């Protein structure tokens, strides 16, 4: 991973769409089954929409039936960071880009093997770089 990116609120608002800003900087969530990558089968690398950091490979994407793109592991162990999220009256593990800190989604322990994890990610937090 390269050096961390820090921007002001105004810089983020200028570089992201309103929906991206709400999700990525204010920890929002897009509506299920509405994201452009939910049903995407295109091969490539999913990168952070905020900074371009490589996050997930299409090889680890699976149909979780939840309405959000899901992956069973990040592209490498340093691509994302995790924090405890106690919003909405529940305890979850939030995942965000380790380079720019953008909110991506959450990780749950109900995914397929080999990891048993489900990284449930907002499409607006991602860009796909096709192989």
Task: Say which of 48, 97, 100, 120 is annotated catalytic.
Answer: 120
Cα gap 125→53, rounded to integer Å: 11
Cα-Cα-Cα-Cα dihedral of 129, 99, 101, 93, to 10°? 80
Paired tokens of 55: 């996050």
Q: Is 100 a catalytic residue?
A: no
How far from chain centre, in Å, is Cα 65? 17
Q: In the chain, which ranges are continuous DSSP H helix?
A: 9-15, 18-24
SS3 content of the chain, % helix, strand, coil (to 5): 20, 30, 50
The residues carrying an active-site annotation are 120
């Amino acid at each position: 991973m390269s050096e961390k990116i820090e921007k002001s609120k105004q810089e983020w608002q200028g570089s992201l769409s309103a929906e991206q800003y709400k999700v990525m900087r204010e920890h929002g969530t897009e509506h299920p089954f509405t994201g452009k990558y939910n049903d995407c089968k295109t091969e490539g690398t999913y990168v952070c929409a905020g900074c371009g950091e490589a996050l997930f490979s299409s090889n680890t994407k699976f149909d979780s039936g939840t309405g959000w793109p899901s992956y069973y592991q990040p592209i490498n162990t340093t691509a994302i960071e995790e924090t405890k999220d106690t919003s909405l009256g529940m305890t979850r593990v939030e995942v965000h880009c380790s380079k720019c800190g953008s909110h991506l989604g959450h990780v749950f322990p109900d995914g397929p093997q080999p990891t048993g994890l489900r990284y449930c990610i907002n499409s607006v937090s991602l860009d796909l770089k096709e192989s």
